[in-house]
A = this chain, B = another copy of it.
Amino acid sequence: MNVQTLRDHIRDIPDFPTDGIMFKDITPLLADAQAFHDSINALANHYDATGVDLVMGAEARGFILAGALAHRLNAGFIPARKPGKLPHNVTKAEYDLEYGTDTLEIHTDAIAENQRVLIVDDVLATGGTASAKARLVEELGGTVVGMGFLLELGFLNGRSKIADYDVYSLIQY
């Protein structure tokens, strides 16, 4: 399935979650077995030769693609979560929202020294959470081998925040 056909499975939802936002709803793509399968494989093919030990996904939607990619790449999966959700000792990273800040947590023992970590999410928007995830990986001694996204909202210029990394997005807006 080519990129244009994948894009046809993404639905525009006006004014969600707030007025003036055109939300890109990926659920029709996920629900289509062929589109979902081809998307995961296209991302995996980009990283197959890289050597990925762990795939990191952030809750909630990031878990879907990151879990599938971890299995496809024969890698482990590590979750980044909102505060208070992980049960063991955590390392935290803050990131900016439009108003204020938010925090992501990861288990402090989630990554061994020099493990190679692929960061995966459904959407690259401002790059704030991707940048926070990269800081968490590096603080624990891991190496960020890439950042993979199903779709990228290029007009938000998220790449500028993660310019040091190999960023790959399947679908561009």
Please give the residue numbers on chain A whose beta carbons come within 8 Å of chain B beta carbons, in ascending order: 11, 13, 16-17, 23, 25, 27, 30-33, 36-37, 40, 53-54, 57, 59-61, 63-68, 70-72, 74-79, 81, 84-88, 107, 110
Which residues does chain B contribute within 8 Å of A74, judged by CB atoms? Answer: 33, 37
In the complex the two chains form, what is the Cα distance from A11 to B107 in whole Å?
A: 13
Q: Are B76 and A32 in contact (CB under 8 A)?
A: yes
Report the bound CA distance from A61 to B63 in whole Å: 8
Q: Is the interface of A mostly helix, strand, loop or mixed?
A: mixed
9 contacts between A and B (CB under 8 A): A13-B88, A17-B87, A27-B110, A31-B76, A31-B78, A32-B76, A36-B71, A60-B85, A65-B67
CA of A36 to CA of B64, assembled, Å: 14
Q: Given contacts A54-B31, A59-B59, A64-B79, is CB(A36)–CB(B70) below 8 Å?
A: yes
Most central of A63, A65, A86 by chain B CB within 10 Å: A63
List B contacts of A85 (CB < 8 A). Answer: 60
Whether the Cβ atoms of A27 and B79 lie closer than 8 Å is yes
The residues of B that contact A78 with a CB separation of less than 8 Å are: 27, 30-31
* Chain B residue contacts of A30, Cβ below 8 A: 70, 76-79
Alpha-carbon distance between A78 and B107 when the two chains are bound, in angstroms: 28
